[in-house]
Amino acid sequence: MTEIYETQPERTDLPLVVMPSVLQSMIEPIKAQFPALRDVARVRMFEEFTSDESVLAERVADADALLVGGYHISDDLLHTLGERSRIKCIVFCGTGVASYINLDLARTLKIRVCNAEHYGDHAVAEHTFALMLELVRRTGQLDADVKAGNWAWAGGDGLQLAGRKLGIIGLGGIGSTVAGIAKAFGMEVSAWNSHVPAEHFARTGAHPVDDLNELIAGSDVVSVHLPLNDATRGIVTAENLEHLRPGTLFINTARSEVIESGALLARLGKGDIPAGLDVFDHEPLAADDPICHVPGVVLTPHVGWRTDGAFKELTRQMIQCLTAYFAGEDYNVVVSERG
């Protein structure tokens, strides 16, 4: 039986916030934030993860606001929420809400959609380097070798990051944090100069490069940190990826959709580009997906953002979105219910 956690259940005079599905690792961090809603709203959280939309719809039937995390809301479910319930505010547990909710439809239905910002800058930046270091030092394979009794010196030769050139595509919060870590490693850092405020370059010390092809061609490591929106969807093209030199490391901890559909798989299929990927066109990734069988590629299941520090900041912002909504104020509003 699913555990249900409720706050102030007797306060039926207060609006109801429902979290119908939750990742196990988020349960305790978000519980710690619920006291901020005392006398503002009551909360009902179902302590299991499900993406079954019939179950989700049933659980939120009497809600005034919805907390969403880890699953997609289809257009059908969004229509149900907008037309058959009292829900006028959806708080998404993350930044890339456009990948999970049809924002144009939410706007039409006059449902406020909020997200969280910069909560995972350090978490994702650190995961970027976890992937990078795995590619250059293969610690996972070496660990397995040693435990199997194989003390193979030849298998331990790696690449050094110090002195290598890192090209960052997307010098926002995460990209800037990556630049800082890269500097500490002794790397030379450049970034694509596309819609990036000058102060980001000044703060990070990254060298601006106007042409994306030039950035890619001149880098030993290319790391993608663009947000996903209408302007960035497919912005990294197959033609851009053709400028990757053999041996260049390619990292994506942003969104797969910022790369032209099919372009990355085609480029990696040549077998000369080591890559570390945390995001994919289809998630969860199936074992028979072609990307799983490309040699020299390290894959992780979209976990770059999942750290204790990120959960703490994420849940704080989620609750602040709700307190602002019920107070008639704006906080991290992506789509306004006011049109």
What length does the chain have?
339
Active site residue 72: no
Q: Which two tokens stand for residue 105?
A: 């439809």
Q: Which is catalytic among the residues 255, 257, 267, 313?
A: 255
Q: Which is catalytic among the residues 6, 239, 283, 329?
A: 283
Q: Which is catalytic among the residues 112, 138, 243, 302?
A: 302
Q: What angle do CA 205, 219, 191 make, to 5 degrees?
A: 35
Give CA–CA dist 205/68, Å, rounded.
Answer: 37
Give the residue carrying structure tokens 């694509």: 192
Interhelix angle 121-137/308-326, nearest 10 degrees? 150
Phi first, then psi, for residue 290 (nearest 5°) are -55, -30
What three-state secondary structure class fits 147?
Answer: helix
Strands 42-46 and 4-7: antiparallel
Cα-Cα-Cα-Cα dihedral of 60, 230, 282, 122, to 10°? -80
What three-state secondary structure class fits 333?
Answer: strand
Contact yes or no for 331/89 (Cβ under 8 A): no
Nearest to 325 by CA among 80, 8, 67, 98: 67
Contact yes or no for 135/298 (Cβ under 8 A): yes
Active site residue 337: no
Q: Which two tokens stand for residue 20?
A: 């119908």
Give CA–CA dist 92/99, Å, rounded.
Answer: 11
Give CA–CA dist 89/84, Å, rounded.
Answer: 14
Nearest to 227 by CA among 262, 189, 258: 258
Active site residue 293: no
Residues assigned a catalytic role: 255, 283, 302
